[in-house]
Amino acid sequence: ARITLRQLLDHAAENDYGLPAYNINNMEQGLAIMEAAEAVNAPVIIQASRGARSYANDVVLARLIDALCELYPHIPVCMHQDHGNGPATCATAIQYGFTSVMMDGSLKEDGKTPADYEYNVDVTRRVTEMAHACGVSVEGELGVLGSLETGMGEAEDGHGFEGVLDHSALLTDPDQAVDFVAQTKVDALAIAMGTSHGAYKFTRKPDGDVLAMHVIEEIHRRLPDTHLVMHGSSSVPQELQDIINQYGGEMPQTWGVPVEEIQRGIKHGVRKINIDTDNRMAITGAIRKVLAEKPGEFDPRAYLKPAKEAMRKVCMQRFQEFGCEGQA
Ligand code: G3H
Ligand code: 13P
Ligand code: ZN
């Protein structure tokens, strides 16, 4: 059954667990997520980016989600817009049955350029008014996540972030977070805490303290009713890099966010944990393996089924690691 993000994360907060939010682009990913959830009886957050919506087509995606909910009527499913870039994107998501939207006002409508605080507050507040009127939850974002596209700055207190970060992120300022939530009334808040999107997060193996745990702790202490969201939460497992590279891929060595760090975050109020890269890697590794081992194969099911299986394994593991088992 469909459920809002607020309902799911309230339950997660009351029961001290975190929920992975997996990105969807196609049927195989949808089935992988639901089969994993079914296996461990976990609630589900499925999210679609703007790119996913245009790739799969809104109508196809909406019917796919309907089908997944019909197949697993006992699993609560939140359908979430990932990185909405403006009111129009969020409004059309709601029209297609999404029960939650992210208004990412940390960036301008182009989804690339960092936006100023006033713009973020204004656009997020307008989206929250509209979404809440429709019974839909809202995630906002404050602070700029590290990414190769936007380039990296310094922490807002002027100090570079000390750690294994390749590029220091603009860590979210707790005072500003309190003001932002008061003005926008968002249900969940994505904060910059040391992660970045994609596979290339860290160039060295993290030896603890990857995340700005003090920032997470302080924001959670001052905003106990706002659920914290961790973007860029893929762990980029070594074994998935190895499979890709063993079968013809060329991914330079890289490190992601250790699962133990995410588990520490969950203890301090992180409730939604966005994961896309790990699933992309699982799928690609499985497909490369089949195509390398059976060069004569041309039935897409021969590689898409193992691809779905590989993603199902990753999803199931994260459900277990984040404490979702039995919470559906
Ligand atoms: O935050 C980005 C997600 O991994 C989705 O990526 O915009 O390429 O679909 P995408
Ligand atoms: P990863 O690239 O670490 O999987 O993060 C995905 C994400 O934050 C989607 O919003
Ligand atoms: Zn993200």
Q: State the ipTM, two decimals.
A: 0.99
Q: Does residue 328 lie within any of the structural domains?
A: no
Q: What percent of the chain has pLDDT over 70?
A: 93
249 belongs to a structural domain: yes
Instruction: Determine, yes or no, domain membership for 315.
Output: yes
Q: Do 139 and 187 form a contact (C-beta atoms < 8 A)?
A: yes
The pTM of this model reads 0.94
Q: What is the DSSP letter of 193?
A: S
In the chain, how many H helices and how many E strands?
12, 8
82 catalytic, yes or no?
yes
Distance 297 CA to ligand 3 centre (A): 35
In the chain, the percentage of residues whose pLDDT exceeds 90 is 90
Instruction: Look up the CATH number of the domain holding residue 307.
Output: 3.20.20.70
Question: Any idea how long the chain is?
Answer: 328
Residue 201 beta carbon below 6 angstroms from any ligand 2 atom: no
Domains held by the chain: number? 1
Which residue segment(s) compose the domain that 155 sits in?
A: 5-321
**pLDDT tens digits, residue range 180-229?**
999 999 999 999 999 999 999 999 998 878 899 999 999 999 999 999 99
Q: Is 41 a member of any domain?
A: yes
70 contacts: CB under 8 Å, gap ≥ 6? none
| 178 three-class SS | helix
CA angle 257/327/219 to nearest 5° reads 45
pLDDT at 111 over 70: yes
pLDDT tens for 39-63 read 999 999 999 999 999 999 999 999 9
Per-residue pLDDT at 207: 84
Mean pLDDT of 314-325: 98
Ligand 2 atom with least separation from CA of 195:
3
Average model confidence (pLDDT) across the chain: 93
Which ligand has the shortest distance to the CA of 24? 1
For residue 153, is pLDDT > 60? no
Residue 327 covered by a domain: no
